[in-house]
A and B are shown apart, each in its own frame.
Chain A
């Protein structure tokens, strides 16, 4: 069975994990940015408003309805 220790070149190599400490900073950054983007597409000037007026609400109106966010 000594041969089995040497992987044959045709076998699929085991997937290499990305270490969690390499992912974390990206995860925090992407989560923050992603949540802000989704908030502006999905909710700004609906239930809550950071900016006055209704332009963001009206501009993203169809996207909100079709993506499934509560619009008005």
Chain B
């Protein structure tokens, strides 16, 4: 059981990464390109300004070409991310299935994907949204990385807590009211944390606002596509497998 769930999760994750890759190419890469041209024009202006003193400065060496970053690099990054998220998704599904009322495989997978998207992407995104190249001060990368992953951890904990509290309250309040109470609690906790955490955001002067907005929309859209594909495809495949299992007589060594 766990084996087939995990295999299915990783495959669905890979398919989800392929869909995300399309979004990245169509909507994301043009914005990355604009941001890099802005970065280069800034650097050129800076260089011209200090030309006298910094004549000996070597031009930045290119470790990986832009073409590789856009193709093999992006494909590899998204592929690994998809497989990792898909495997973790399968584990979360195994915990959720049969424990969220009488929901079937498809509905459980859809809910787990929604919860996963909120926990891992939406919660950190609302406070620390994705940044294109040239946005963000390189000196603060340490604290920004720590804050970002801290926010991911908080999203996972708060979402898990909301689900557990909602389940506990359901017998007393009914499903509708229990869901409202736990969601409001979730929103209040996040609202407080958002207000208290620092925001080391540094948008360079003159960076085009439309590029920043379009880049962030592309990043969010890519994640929506990834989680939606993962949840729906995993649900479809699992429902089909369970139906096949029911159709044939119970094996002795299940």
- Classify the secondary structure of A's interface with B: helix
Say whether, besides A47-B141, A53-B63, A58-B69, A63 and B81 are in contact (CB < 8 Å): yes
Point out the residues of chain B lying under 8 angstroms from A69, CB to CB: 130, 145, 148
- Give the residue of A13, A47, A54, A58 whose beta carbon is less than 8 angstroms from that of B146: A47
A-B contact pairs, 24 of them (CB 8 A): A16-B98, A17-B98, A18-B2, A18-B95, A27-B95, A30-B6, A31-B88, A33-B87, A37-B80, A38-B81, A41-B80, A47-B141, A47-B145, A59-B77, A60-B77, A62-B29, A63-B78, A64-B77, A65-B215, A66-B24, A66-B130, A70-B144, A70-B145, A71-B131
How many residues on chain A are close to B (CB under 8 Å)?
43
CA distance A54 to B60 in the complex (A): 13
- Give the residue of A30, A53, A64, A65 whose beta carbon is less than 8 angstroms from that of B90: A30
Q: A65-B131, A66-B32 are in contact. List 4 more A-B contacts (CB 8 A).
A: A18-B97, A38-B85, A43-B145, A68-B130
Interface-side segment among B40-48, B51-59, B99-107, B177-185: B99-107
Contact: A67 with B64, CB < 8 Å?
no
Q: Is B73 interfacial (CB 8 A cutoff)?
A: yes
Point out the residues of chain B lying under 8 angstroms from A41, CB to CB: 77, 80-81, 84
CB distance from A27 to the nearest CB of B (A): 5
Contact: A23 with B94, CB < 8 Å?
yes
